[in-house]
Amino acid sequence: DTEVTQTPKHLVMGMTNKKSLKCEQHMGHRAMYWYKQKAKKPPELMFVYSYEKLSINESVPSRFSPECPNSSLLNLHLHALQPEDSALYLCASTQNQARSTDTQYFGPGTRLTVL
Amino acid sequence: AQSVTQPDIHITVSEGASLELRCNYSYGATPYLFWYVQSPGQGLQLLLKYFSGDTLVQGIKGFEAEFKRSQSSFNLRKPSVHWSDAAEYFCAVGRYETSYDKVIFGPGTSLSVIP
């Protein structure tokens, strides 16, 4: 099973809402990632968890809050977002701790629209 | 600064024709190089990667890429394109920053295939 799943597929939220994105993998991977991708742009790294600990935060605003409850699950909690946060949010995982040599397995993404 | 460029924003080819997508990188040391493909509404999938050794790398779906250190290039090729190859293609480089590895994606090349 080389699948990373993400829910929901689509999410529309207002600027005062609180919502969460969920990512799950059952490949036994120990590093998980959140990326943000705007239309016609490459993915931009947001957060990396290695062995369930936050190892990289790419200066992401605090209205995005990641959580890694266990080695298979990664959440992204959203609060007080802005319209410019509308994007495709991608989750990925790698087998070992976050190394740039490892193949990243991506989920299909959550398409987020902030009104 | 290390970077990845993809000179072609958009390419259109006829089905059955050959394909070459260009990628240039700027990196002081031996780079880790990747090609990912993203179909519409999907996450990214690794096509192939290069770390060392044979400079001609074979990947999935009939793709190959050649690393040329003298030209700082890692171009992706396919001898005969299928309509299902229409997608966004990202070249990426793995690099080590002060305390961690990360993968930097190029801006992408959008491929259209004419039947």
C-alpha distance from A11 to closest chain B C-alpha (Å): 14
Nearest CA in chain B to A104: B46
- Identify the pLDDT of residue A58: 86
C-alpha distance from A68 to closest chain B C-alpha (Å): 19
- The band of A2, judged by pLDDT with boundaries at 50, 70 and 90, is low
C-alpha distance from B50 to closest chain A C-alpha (Å): 9
Which of B43, B49, B107 is nearest residue A90 as measured by Cβ atoms?
A: B43
C-alpha distance from B106 to closest chain A C-alpha (Å): 7
Q: What is the 3-state secondary structure (H, E, C) of chain B?
A: CCEEECCCCEEEEECCCCEEECCEEECCCCCEEEEEEECCCCCEEEEEEECCCCCEEECHHHCEEEEEHHHCEEEEEECCCCHHHCEEEEEEEEEECCCCEEEEECCCEEEEEEC
Q: How many CB pairs under 8 A join A and B?
A: 57
- Identify the pLDDT of residue B58: 96
Q: What percent of chain A has pLDDT over 70?
A: 95
The predicted model gives A16-26 an average pLDDT of: 95
Among B9-18, B40-49, B58-67, B88-97, whose mean pLDDT is lowest? B88-97
Residues of chain A with a CB closer than 8 angstroms to some CB in chain B? 4, 40-43, 45, 48, 55-56, 90, 92, 98-101, 103-109, 111
What residues of B are in contact with residue A104 (Cβ under 8 Å)?
44, 46, 103
CB contact under 8 A, B94 and A55: no
Query: Rounded mean pLDDT of chain A?
Result: 92
CB contact under 8 A, B43 and A103: no
- Identify the pLDDT of residue B2: 64
Contacts of A13 (CB under 8 A, 6+ apart): A19, A78, A81, A112, A113, A114, A115
| Residue B24 scores a pLDDT above 60 | yes
CB contact under 8 A, A92 and B51: no
The predicted model gives B82-104 an average pLDDT of: 84
